[in-house]
């Protein structure tokens, strides 16, 4: 696992947190919630890709493939 993945997740979190606060303070809580969900989905897509690569490595290691 590269350290780049951690930085990408942190960057998404920081951007989502800042935009979320801006939207909440401008009386748009519905859009803030949708933004938070979009950030969660984006982060999960990054993680699913890495978990898939991990499972492929485990399969190759134990000869299941």
Is pLDDT of 2 > 90? Answer: no
**pTM, 2 dp:** 0.80
Q: What is residue 54's DSSP assignment? A: H
Structure tokens at 2: 């590269």
pLDDT tens per residue across span 16-27? 999 999 999 999
pLDDT digits (tens, 9 = 90+) for 5-58: 999 999 999 999 999 999 999 999 999 999 999 999 999 999 999 999 999 999
């Amino acid at each position: 696992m590269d350290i780049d993945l951690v930085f990408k997740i942190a960057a998404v979190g920081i951007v989502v947190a800042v935009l979320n606060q801006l939207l909440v303070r401008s009386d748009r809580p519905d859009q803030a919630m949708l933004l938070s969900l979009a950030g969660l989905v984006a982060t999960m897509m990054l993680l699913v890709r890495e978990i898939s690569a991990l499972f492929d490595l485990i399969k190759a290691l134990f000869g299941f493939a």
